[in-house]
Chains A and B, each alone.
Chain A
Amino acid sequence: EAGVAQSPRYKIIEKRQSVAFWCNPISGHATLYWYQQILGQGPKLLIQFQNNGVVDDSQLPKDRFSAERLKGVDSTLKIQPAKLEDSAVYLCASSNGVGVNTEAFFGQGTRLTVV
């Protein structure tokens, strides 16, 4: 079974530029997550989708971050404009349910450097 696919793997941009990341979850997984992992910290949830609806975006900085999941499959995460503190690895994960017994599968992540 194919895993969670993310692209690009690496991205370097200047501050105030915009950037977009793409995620293709495991086939059939209804739940999709975007996490931000700053160097030396654990992943922090940015947004969670159930099919194409948002379940939780309480920690998404909505003045500059946006995400969508059209047709309940692929998802894109956008940052506009980027700040230096957005430098991090952006992880996409998917699962076939929600709740305490759900296993999330992670992609390799996109490493963003803002200079």
Chain B
Amino acid sequence: DQQVKQNSPSLSVQEGRISILNCDYTNSMFDYFLWYKKYPAEGPTFLISISSIKDKNEDGRFTVFLNKSAKHLSLHIVPSQPGDSAVYFCAASALSNFGNEKLTFGTGTRLTIIP
């Protein structure tokens, strides 16, 4: 049962353009969402998070949008740079449910930025 889904295994974007990565979830108990970036031979690196009380969080070139009614979140990267080429994982947890701080991950989207 895949509770966090990233339906696009890969995405290619021209340098300087906007990259939009999507994530859907099914568990209505999830109330904290994160995006991680992973380079080959390294562990995932935290990028940005959002709590369910917000619908947008911005950090530099990265913005995460949350649509609770649609159970959908997206990560926007503007402008895209070659160093952004990596695998991006969406993750979620149910913080309000005591003992459920563990993160549930999607299967990842491989982003390639074309120079």
A and B assemble together: no
Q: Residues of B with Cβ closer than 8 Å to A?
A: none
